[in-house]
Amino acid sequence: MEQKIKALLLENSNNLFGSTVSESMIQFQPTRKDVEGDLTLVVFPFVKLLRCKPEDAGQKIGAFLKEKIEEIQSFDVLKGFLNITLSDQYWLRQLENSSVTNFGFSPPKSKPLVMVEYASPNTNKPLHLGHLRNIFLGDSVSSILEANGHEVIRTQIINDRGIHICKSMLAWEKFSPLNEKGERETPDSTGLKGDKLVGKYYVEFDQQMNKEASALMDAWSQGNIDDALQDEVNQLQQAKEAKSEAQTKAIDAKLKELAKANTNLLNEAKEMLIKWEARDPQTYLLWSTMNGWVYKGFEHTYKTMGVSFDKLYYESDTYALGKDVVQEGLQKEVFYKKADGSVWIDLTEDGLDEKIVLRSDGTAVYMTQDIGTAIDRFKDFPSIDGMVYTVGNEQDYHFKVLFLILKKLGYGWADNCHHLSYGMVDLPTGKMKSREGTVVDADELMAAVIEGAKEMTKERGHLDDMSEEAKEELYHQIGMSGLKYYLLKVDPKKRMMFNPQESIDLNGNTGPFIQYTYARICSLLKKAGKYENQLNKSISLIKSEKDVIKAISRFPSIIEESAQSYTPSGITSYCYELVKLYNQFYQNVKILPETDENLRCNRLILSRSVSLIIEKSLHLLGIHSPKRM
């Protein structure tokens, strides 16, 4: 209707206003809840043209629109706002339109190809709560973009190389216990998932390095300092004199970082990385074996999550391409080399800083592989119109630099790269740290919410006639709905606190609450049996009925807005509002007991439309819609 009104005003602007008006002057806004109306036109932009008071301008425009558009039942002017009331017949036609199978969805592949990267785990640890927000966000955005007509490629870059990977490898080699056959522990011998076993040794590395660093600091305090570090250590120790407690702690922290950087253990890990890049056979075999353990673990976790990918990229493949690009960039003078052999780019004229792209020992950094990966993807899929990187907001600067480097290298498509930045997930106990082993394990969390859903559902006792297999599937669907919805309902840019118990509550803005309403409508429709599948458009609508239809009609625009902003929280907010409005309608009217057959049919059709939109909305969030709960 907004487009119809806009077109009519533009077409008749000279007659109505005595002058041509621009499209930007025609502004709509939601009608206030305390006034009558379905649509509000802002009158102020036309007051000067009509040379009258806002109220008079509103009356003139309102009378014109009511005469020309039969769907307008009445209008009212409140100061500079024209509140338009549309006829019941108009809203019933909107309800009829919503019964189309693909209502709200654009035709498949009607818009350009977009690649969405998410998950992108490291192969030195299992997935945790932070990964869950990343993965659910990327998966949902992919589905929303598809609903908006885009062809989408779901992808991840598996970070399977680097110093952090070598830390797990080295710790396993040095600290894994031997059995009676002289064999070190494996996933098969321990019963641990491969990603968890490797993650255990990542934590072990950090613990052992801290022990060595502490011993080194004790030696320094007694004057036993290596000649190469003498000046730096002395300067830091002397700087602590006559300093406050906070300043002393900060200096001690610098001393500890210096000690860690000079431990034998870390130096061994660095040497292992150099060997890996040189394709040392023994190092490479250890790397491929431990990564294989991790991949099997990840597959199990992704299956529980209900997510998948169309294309996988591996940092171990793309970092080499990145190194080649850096060499080409050196020849083009995009990059420059320092005296120690490291390669950098100077972005100070662009308001950023200098950024290293290759270490002095020739090994790659994250930026190197990200350059290589981006170029590799556009070679694989030349028709990509955009690329979305789902990565936490601590990497905001990294992606500014990456996109700018790609642009300076001459890749025009860099302008279509987007960083889908999101805030961290906190716990009541504080921030998670992988190397310290203080993370919430993804597998354990999913198992916990599924178990919570099981207990909650058992207490209600409505599933006695279901098979055990069907019950277990339902518990999984309810638990995962609670987890996904809870992590997606917060705007991605915001940092959030996670509360597992709240996530599976059957009341309030939760996934299970939405699912429960869907199941209730399914039960209602099942009990109704056969009914006339044709709306009677001569019947008047009550307010709660019209409110639901209004919400239904907004579904296509909600998908479009969510796709443009990459925010699933727009879908969650909409779905929750729709469910609340339907529940109010459900409480206010008779449906099955209604004796007027036309009213009964209309209300059943309305209920069915709501159920279809709930089902579609939950699908966009990666959530199942169980017909029973």
Q: Which residue type sits at 474?
A: L
Residue 212 has which token pair?
A: 């060595």
- Decide if 212 is inside a domain: yes
557's tokens:
């625009």
| % pLDDT > 70, the chain | 98
**Tokens coding 283:** 């190092």
**What is the Rg, in whole angstroms, of the alpha carbon atoms belonging to the chain?**
31
CATH value at residue 42: 3.30.1360.70
Does residue 623 sit in helix, strand or coil?
A: coil
Torsion region of 191: left, alpha or beta (phi above 0 gives left; psi -120 to 50 gives alpha): left
Six-digit token string for 330: 């050196």
> Are 574 and 65 in contact, with CB atoms under 8 Å apart?
no
Together in a domain, 541 and 495: yes
Q: Nearest-CA neighbor of 98 among 599, 521, 574, 606?
A: 606
| pLDDT score for 500 | 76
CA 221 to chain CA centroid, Å, is 48
Q: Quick one: 370 and 494 in the same domain?
A: no
Alpha carbon of 417 to those of 379, 383, 386, 401: distances in Å?
15, 14, 6, 12
Query: Are 158 and 126 contained in the same domain?
Result: yes
Q: How far apart are CA 199 and CA 207, in angstroms?
A: 13
Q: Residue 149 sits in a domain of what CATH number? A: 3.40.50.620
Asked if residues 288 and 160 have their Cβ atoms less than 8 Å apart, the reply is no
Dist CA 15 CA 246 (whole Å): 74
Q: Indicate if 289 and 358 belong to the same structural domain.
A: no
Q: Can you tell me the distance from the alpha carbon of 99 to that of 507, in angstroms, rounded to the nearest whole number?
A: 28
pLDDT of residue 440: 84
**Would you call 267 exposed, middle or buried from its count of C-beta atoms within 10 A (0-12, 13-18, 19+)?**
exposed
Q: With CA atoms as reference, report the closest residue to 142 among 122, 120, 113, 121.
A: 113
Q: What are phi and psi for residue 307, nearest 5 degrees?
A: -125, 155
In a domain? residue 243: no
* Residue 428 pLDDT class (50, 70, 90 cuts): low
> For the chain, what is the total number of helices (H) and then of strands (E)?
24, 14
Region 233-242 average pLDDT? 87
Establish if 252 belongs to a structural domain.
Answer: no
**Domain co-membership, 181 together with 302:** yes
Mean pLDDT of all residues in 260-268: 96
Encode pLDDT of 337-375 as tens digits. Answer: 999 999 999 999 999 999 999 999 888 888 998 999 999
Q: Say if CB 86 and CB 71 are below 8 A apart.
A: yes
How confident is the model at residue 434, as a pLDDT?
A: 45
List the one residue out of 73, 93, 88 whose CA is nearest residue 605: 93
pLDDT at 306: 96
**3-class state of residue 82 by DSSP:** strand
Cβ atoms 270, 209 nearer than 8 A: no
Going by C-beta distance under 8 Å and a sequence separation of 6 or more, which residues neighbour residue 536? Answer: 598, 601, 602
**Which tokens go with 492?**
């991605």
Residues 375 and 451 in one domain: no
Same domain? For 466 and 562 the reply is yes
Mean pLDDT value of segment 529-537 = 87
d(CA 404, CA 354): 12
> What mean pLDDT do residues 285-297 have?
97
Question: Does residue 435 have a pLDDT over 70?
Answer: no
Please, are residues 51 and 44 in contact by the beta-carbon 8 Å criterion? no
Scanning 222-280, the segments in alpha helix (DSSP H) are 230-239, 245-261, 264-277
CA separation, residue 618 to residues 129, 160, 170, 434, 615 (Å): 21, 33, 44, 31, 5
Could you tell me which residues come within 8 angstroms of residue 54 by beta carbon, excluding any fewer than 6 positions away?
Answer: 43, 44, 47, 77, 79, 80
Is it the case that residue 439 has pLDDT exceeding 80?
no
Same domain, yes or no: 342 and 286: no
Do 468 and 581 have their domain in common? yes
End-to-end CA distance of the chain: 38
The pLDDT of residue 572 is above 60: yes
Closest CA to 516 of 608, 447, 420, 583: 583
Residue 146 shares a structural domain with residue 285: yes
DSSP letter (8 states) at residue 621: T
- 429 occurs within a structural domain: no
Same domain, 61 and 162: no
Answer yes or no: is pLDDT of 593 > 80.
Answer: yes
Q: Where are the alpha helices (DSSP H) in 461-596?
A: 468-488, 500-503, 511-528, 543-553, 555-565, 569-588
CATH number of the domain that 495 lies in?
1.10.730.10
DSSP 345: E
3-state helix, strand, coil in the chain (%, to 5): 60, 10, 30
Strand segments, DSSP code E, in 50-149 are 72-78, 81-86, 111-117
Whether residue 89 contacts residue 113, with contact meaning beta carbons closer than 8 Å, is answered with: no
pLDDT band, very low/low/confident/very high, at 462 (cuts 50, 70, 90): confident
- pTM of the entire predicted model: 0.89
What letter represents residue 40's amino acid? Answer: T
Total domains, the chain: 4
DSSP per position, 39-73: EEEE-HHHHHHHTS-HHHHHHHHHHHHHHH-TTEE
Report d(CA 369, CA 157) in Å as an integer: 10
Q: Write the pLDDT tens digit of every residue in 379-406.
A: 999 999 999 999 999 999 999 999 999 9
Last residue of a domain, one of 395, 424, 453: 424
232 belongs to a structural domain = no
pLDDT reading at 258 higher than 60: yes
Of the chain, the percentage scoring pLDDT greater than 90 comes to 83
**Would you list the DSSP string of 298-313?**
HHHHHHHHT---SEEE
User: What is the domain extent for residue 408?
Assistant: 317-424
| Residue 111 domain flag | no
Backbone angles phi, psi at 470, to 5 degrees: -65, -40
Mean pLDDT score of the chain: 93
12/135 same-domain check: no
Is residue 247, in this structure, part of any structural domain at all? no
The residue among 555, 575, 550 whose CA lies nearest residue 625 is 575
The answer to whether residue 239 is domain-embedded is no
Decide if pLDDT at 432 tops 60.
Answer: no
